[in-house]
Every structure is written in C-alpha cells, then in structure tokens.
C-alpha cells in the first residue's frame, strides 16, 4: 500500500511568496493531521481534520496559514505570504480508528526554506 | 502540553537491549501509551501502544507498571538502524484525537 504522500519534498522560496504544500492520505483513513517540525520547537500540531472537517486549528500560527481538505484523498496547507520563520519541515499524517489502533502514519515531509 | 517525561538522550551498545523509560504520572484511566520513533529527517514511525497490559510486536516490547504511571519501551537487540528519537505519548483512544509530541529521547546505538 502507498503511504501518505506529500509534495513537494523540498521547496525554496523567497519571503512574501505563496507556498502550497500537498498531502494525499492513506486510502480509507478519515483523519488527517498537519504537523510542523523545527529544531527550536520540535514537532507541533497545526491542524487536524476528521472526515474532511477541520476539528482543531488552534495550532495554526496566524492568518497567513490556511489548510483545506476538499475531499477524503487530498489536503493542502497554504502559507501566504511566507516569512523566513516559516522555514521548517511540514509533515502530514493520517489515521483511522476503524482500521487500526488509531496510530498515525506520517509522510516523508516537505522541507520548506524561506529566504 | 505533553503529559510525559523522558530522558533527553541515551546510549546503547549494538546487540544489547535498549530500555527507554517514560514517566506519565498523571495518566487517566482511559489513556493509552503510544511509542513512536523518528529516524533522522524521516517522518515519525509508530512502534507500539498499550493500555495496561504489557505488549509485544515485531519491533519492540512495552512494559507498563501496575499503577500505569510509567512505562518502558524495550528494543531487545538494538542495531545501528535503531538510532533515532523515541517519543512516548499518552492519548485517549478516541476518534480523531491528536497526538502531542514532546522532545523525546535521542537513542544512540553504538558499534
């Protein structure tokens, strides 16, 4: 089975540009999570969805960040405008309390560098 | 906030058992203990979880104390590929509840 697929794997952009990160969860999983990882702050939850509905977005840093899940097989995390402090690895994860123990399956991450 | 405390780092000799402790003294009766690990630059990987009984799978064993205030993850024969950051997380096994990751334990398996 294909795991969680994220794109792009690496993104280098300039401050002020829009960044869109994409995630395809594992088929059949109905919970999707976006995490951000930095050396300073570790692994932080940004937002998670159940059945395509955002449940908790309290971790989203500010209005520059937005996330959508238009259907069960696709989600985006958008940063507009981007800033150097947004540089991090962004992970997407999915889970299914029905198919397993509710454990998270992570993608390989999108490494973002904002110059 | 993470509800667990773990040592910052540990070393283990290759081929020996690695025992990683975790304190979760405020754990509730319906909270599970989950373990994940993150190998450098990869996404975290699920290892094992349990409620109150000891658990074993192909990767590791999980020993939970009777009062459930602490647990130990055991890698029975550590290899160099087990070098990673190991995260202990407590979580109610409810639908869609999120996982809160703390700083974890950096395990170095030495040749």
Closest by Cβ to A45, choosing from B95, B100, B104: B100
Residue-level pLDDT at A17: 97
In angstroms, the separation between the Cα of residue A42 and the nearest Cα of chain B is 6
pLDDT band at A1 (very low <50, low <70, confident <90, very high): low
Percentage of chain A surpassing pLDDT 70? 96
Mean pLDDT taken over chain B = 91
Ranking A6-10, B50-54, B107-111 by mean pLDDT, the lowest is B50-54
Across chain A, where does the E strand assignment appear?
A: 5-7, 10-13, 19-24, 31-38, 42-50, 53-56, 65-71, 74-79, 88-95, 105-106, 110-114
| Residues B44, A45: C-beta atoms closer than 8 Å | no
Q: Do B46 and A91 touch (CB under 8 A)?
A: no
Q: Place B29 in a pLDDT band, splitting at 50, 70 and 90.
A: confident
CB atoms within 10 A of CB B99: 23
Average pLDDT of chain A to the nearest whole number? 93
For residues A26-32, average pLDDT: 92
The predicted pLDDT at position B94 comes to: 59
């Amino acid at each position: 089975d294909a795991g969680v697929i994220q794109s792009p794997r690496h993104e280098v952009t300039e401050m002020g540009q829009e960044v869109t990160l994409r995630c395809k969860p594992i088929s059949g999983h109905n919970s999707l999570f976006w995490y951000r990882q930095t050396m300073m702050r570790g692994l932080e939850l940004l937002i998670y969805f159940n059945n395509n509905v955002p449940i908790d977005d309290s971790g989203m840093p500010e209005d520059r960040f937005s996330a959508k899940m238009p259907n069960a097989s696709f989600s985006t995390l958008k940063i507009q405008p981007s800033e150097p402090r947004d540089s991090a690895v962004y992970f997407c994860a999915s889970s299914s309390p029905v198919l397993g123990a509710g454990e998270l399956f992570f993608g390989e991450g999108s490494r973002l560098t904002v110059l | 906030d993470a509800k667990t405390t773990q040592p910052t780092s540990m070393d283990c000799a290759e081929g020996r058992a690695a025992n990683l402790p975790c304190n979760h003294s405020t754990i509730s009766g319906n909270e599970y203990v989950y373990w994940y690990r993150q190998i450098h630059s990869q996404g975290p990987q699920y290892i094992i979880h349990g409620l109150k009984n000891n658990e074993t799978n192909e990767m590791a064993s999980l020993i939970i104390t009777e009062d459930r205030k602490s647990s130990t993850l055991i890698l029975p024969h550590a290899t160099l590929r087990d070098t990673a950051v190991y995260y202990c997380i407590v979580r109610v096994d409810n639908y869609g509840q999120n996982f809160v990751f703390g700083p974890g334990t950096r395990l170095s398996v030495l040749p």
